[in-house]
Structure 1
Amino acid sequence: MEGGRSSLLSIASIVTSMTAVAIGNGMMLAYVPFVLTRSAAPDWVPGAAVTAIAFGGLIGCVLAGPLIRRVGHARAFSCSMALVILAAVLISLGVHPTLWIFARALYGAAANTNFIISQSWLNHASDNHWRGKAMALFYMAYVIGLGAGAWLFGRIPVDGNLAPIITIFFTAVAILPIGMTRLPTPPAPAKVSIDIAMAWRSSPVALVGVLASGGLSMLVQGFTPIYAAANAVSQQDVATLMFVMQFGLLVIQFPMGSLSDRIDRRIVLVATCALIVAAGLAALVVSFDSLLLLMLVFALFAGAVETVYSIANAHANDRTDPADFVPLASTMLVAWSAAATLVPMLVTVLTPAFGAELFIYATMAVAVLYAAFVLIRLRMRERVPPQLCETFEIKSAQVPNAGALAEAKARAE
């Protein structure tokens, strides 16, 4: 009984800690693009700040494992939190575009390290029969924390440095739950080993899906506040928009994921891409004067984008031998981070010429290309019977497959 209570307290401390981090992150995801778009910075700077997060994450996913093996989970967690605080301090110094881009890259590297550590600990503290529920709670709490941070952004003055100071506060609070509990030290996460050929052999649809979801997620989550601010949407309305978008994941992903447990996941992926295109077209048509309707449209937009990521991951696990889970997770992590860097970078370069709404067209284009690829694969390869499919789990593309290294290792054992 005592051991079970200890495990529950350990899991609660991890979830509480990362939810506090998410509140600060949600605030900065809205604050940074909003302020940069309203500032005298060049048009490419807000998009570059979005791209920097993914680029930093790519660096972080490669360096986190060696760091954890060298100093241990607890010290690495403190270091990554310190980097989040340092990034917020740099932003609090005033609007300096180059400095802010560097700060967002620093945050991206720290964020992936946080995810690897927290999910490694979560897998180690959870029993096998309820590990999936613990992971689902983690994802949901993190996404709700992002929404809460966005909502809080709308309630503070945008002038000055209060937003980064509040982010520093929540990040400091996040250190306490893990620092004050007796968490057992889990094994170091698996090495990030890239095996594109193996991932392609296991499931081309899953590999390309994770690539697509990297671009889709960073476009929708990163460029929406830029788009809203460029159309003179108020700070409070931008905050509400970002808040509502986070709950699109819960509304769209669960029913689509449940459906993918019963029919071919590839069919559900095509349907999800169709939903992305429909939501994108609606986003272009609905006027900013009908802000409530626009918020609902963007909630569907964001929810459908997140669903591509989670179903693609489930499809990969259906078709991969457990012995290959670790290299698969490593490959998917790097693939997601690379696409999340390159696609927003391209949109950032082209936005000054084509306008702030370019990200919507780019998102629809990625969805159409991916749906076409899935349809081609449907004609080439047999479906996996439902009884051989693994149970779908809620995942968020905003919490990339960083923790899958530890999760895959636990499952392989």
Structure 2
Amino acid sequence: MNGHVQDKASPFSIASIVISMTIAAIGSGIMATYVPFVLTQQGATWAARLAVPALAFGGLLGCVLAGPLIRRVGHARLFACSMAMVIIGAVLVAADLPPIWWIIARGLYGAASNVNFIIAQSWLNHAASNEWRGRAMSFFYMTFVLGLGGGAWLFGQISTDGNLAPLVVVFVTALSILPIGLTRLPNPPAPASVSVNVHMVWRISPVGLVGVLASGGLSMVVQGFTPIYATLNGVSQGEVALLMLVMQTGLLFIQYPLGIISDRLDRRVVLLITCGLIVLAGTAAVFVTFSTFILLMIVFLVFGGAVETVYSVANAHANDRADPGDFVPLSSTLLVAWSTAATIVPLGVTFLAPAFGQQTFIYAIILVAIAYGGYIVWRLKERGPAPEAERENYEVRSAQLPNAAALTEPGATNPQSRTH
């Protein structure tokens, strides 16, 4: 079956998967901006902040449960079920319930969206041939992230009086089921289970493991708290939407060039440069006011793009040093590490913000970047430069999506399944 699919599949054959997930990303971008904006405007800033770790914790549960559920009902059925959970979450928000239900809704979305992503990536890995799989996955990441930005921009065009925005999310989510539901691609084998081996991953790449931990906190903090920060400073709905859209373009303008450079330099050096960019952007974000909004957007573009870079380059550095047989536990452990940090760090920011003010999330990002940068310097002194032969080709990845590459392979011990 696998060989037959590889012979028949073409780049066009995966269009239904990419289209479905891009449409779903538009709904996600709307909700990711709508929830913090409305809750903050209503005076429930505590709920807007708690919704960030709730999203990450739901994502962790989704990543753990995806494999068993796919084995039970198959990819297509579970995709429809998880999209139904996204719709349920949007309906809970639209129903004008107390803020605690909005937090629950974000947790449901986190679980469902990660299940959807693992399903989509599993299908892509199964359908794509070795010759163009890397390009297909990079294109998938970029369209998904740009879909998130497009959804944020669309939020700026929708009135927040009433429940039109969550109803639009219900509509686009239902629409996203159609392309992948009608695909003729056969169901791939069930993905591998999540197997966590922190000791093994630490032995393979301490810098990679710590980098993924850092990026989990960095990504959820900058993406989750930026719209809250902007809203608290009286920024209009349209400007909040534009700010979130600009942040997503950091994938193109910051991550991609630095990722290409990491193919030519020691990735740890690139990670150190990236930490420096985060500290510089964070420092600028503390002092640049919303009265100079264009300058602020540039600062947050660098902010978001540099955070994305930490995730993708740290992943690549870990994969450089892993044997093919270690790929499943490596990817699973990085997945759990990212999700755990993405839950704990925003939770800490949520509880510290009342004492330290609106810019607490910026201080947290700067501190994490300084700590990680210091650790990289220490490792460079301890181990020295990495041999060039250890490096593999860089792929674009997003810190807003789970590190689920190996989970999409049924056995994942075959070296041929590991393409970069």
How does the TM-score come out when normalised to structure 2?
0.95
Structure 2 residue identity aligned to 1:32: V
Separation (CA, whole Å) in 2 of partners of 1:25 and 1:318: 32
Tell me the amino acid that sits aligned with residue 201 of structure 2: A
Letter in 2 for 1:242: M
Question: 5+ unaligned residues in a row in structure 1: which ranges?
Answer: none
Contact 2:9 2:128 in 1 (8 A): no
Q: 1:356-396: per-residue Cα shift (whole Å, max 9, x none)?
A: 11000000000000011111111112433223311011000
Superposition pairs of residues 128-147 of structure 1, within 5 angstroms:
128-147=130-149
Confirm or deny that 1:368 pairs with 2:370.
yes
**Match for 1:175: what amino acid?**
I
* Residue identity opposite 1:67 in structure 2: L
Within 5 A, what are the aligned runs for 1:52-131?
52-131=54-133
CA displacement at 1:248 relative to structure 2? 1.0
| Residues 9-408 of structure 1 aligned to structure 2 (within 5 Å) | 9-41=12-44, 43-406=45-408
Within 1, Cα distance between the matches of 2:103 and 2:309?
28
CA distance in 2, matches of 1:404, 1:35: 38
- Quote the Cα distance in structure 1 between the aligned partners of 2:43 and 2:28: 24
Which residue of the partner structure matches residue 11 of structure 2? 8
SS state of the match for residue 129, structure 1?
coil
Per the TM alignment, residue 95 of structure 1 is displaced from its structure 2 partner at its CA by 5.0
Q: Answer yes or no: is the 8 Å Cα contact 1:118–1:403 preserved in 2.
A: no
Q: 1:303 to 1:411 in 2, by over 3 A?
A: farther
1:302-327 per-residue CA deviation (whole Å, 9 max, x = no partner) reads 00000000000000011111100001
Name the amino acid aligned to 1:72: G
Query: CA offset at residue 6 of structure 1?
Result: 5.0
- Which whole-Å CA distance do the structure 1 matches of 2:206 and 2:74 have between them? 35
C-alpha separation in 1, matches of 2:16 and 2:385: 41
Following the alignment from structure 2 to structure 1, what is the Cα–Cα distance between the partners of residues 104 and 13? 34
2:11–2:136 contact (8 Å) kept in structure 1: no
Determine if contact 1:14/1:178 at 8 Å carries over to the other structure.
yes
State the distance in 2 between where 1:307 and 1:336 align. 14
Alpha-carbon separation, structure 1, partners of 2:406 and 2:379? 25
1:406 & 1:45 partners in 2: Cα distance?
34
The residue matched to 1:298 in structure 2 has which SS?
A: helix
2:251 and 2:49 mapped to 1: Cα distance? Answer: 23
Asked whether the equivalents of residues 52 and 105 of structure 1 are also in contact (C-alpha less than 8 Å), the reply is yes
Alpha-carbon separation, structure 2, partners of 1:396 and 1:3: 26
Return the letter of the residue paired with 1:176: L
Q: Using the TM superposition, give the Cα deviation of residue 355 of structure 1 relative to its aligned residue in structure 2, in angstroms.
A: 1.2
Cα distance in 2 for partners of 1:390, 1:196 equals 23
Report percent identity of matched pairs.
63
Two-structure CA RMSD over aligned residues (Å): 1.6
Instruction: Find the residue that maps to 2:404 and give its secondary structure.
Output: helix
Aligned equivalents of 2:142 and 2:33: distance in 1? 19
Instruction: Give me the whole-angstrom Cα distance separating, in 1, the residues matched to 2:334 and 2:115.
Output: 16
Residues 338 and 262 of structure 1, relative CA distance in 2, 3 Å threshold = same
> CA contact under 8 A between 1:44 and 1:351: conserved in structure 2?
no
1:174 partner amino acid: S
**Would the alpha carbon gap of residues 6 and 321 (structure 1) be closer, same or farther in structure 2, given more than 3 Å must change?**
closer
Which sections of structure 2, spanning at least 5 residues, go unmatched? none
- The 3-state SS of whatever aligns with 1:402 is coil
User: By how many angstroms is 1:44 displaced?
Assistant: 1.9
For 1:375, give the aligned amino acid.
V
Map Cα deviations across residues 235-272 of structure 1 (whole Å, 9 max, x no partner): 00000000111001110011111111111100110110
**Helix, strand or coil at the partner of 1:169:** helix
Letter in 2 for 1:240: L
1:112–1:402 Cα contact (<8 Å) kept: no
How far residue 404 of structure 1 moved from its aligned partner, in angstroms, is 3.8
Kept in 2: contact 1:286–1:293 (CA 8 A) = yes
The runs of 4+ residues in structure 1 deviating greater than 4 Å are 2-6
Can you list the C-alpha shifts for 1:297-348, whole angstroms capped at 9, x where unaligned? 1000000000000000000011111100001010000000000000000000
Distance 1:203 1:412 in 2: 22
The one-letter amino acid paired with 1:294 is: L
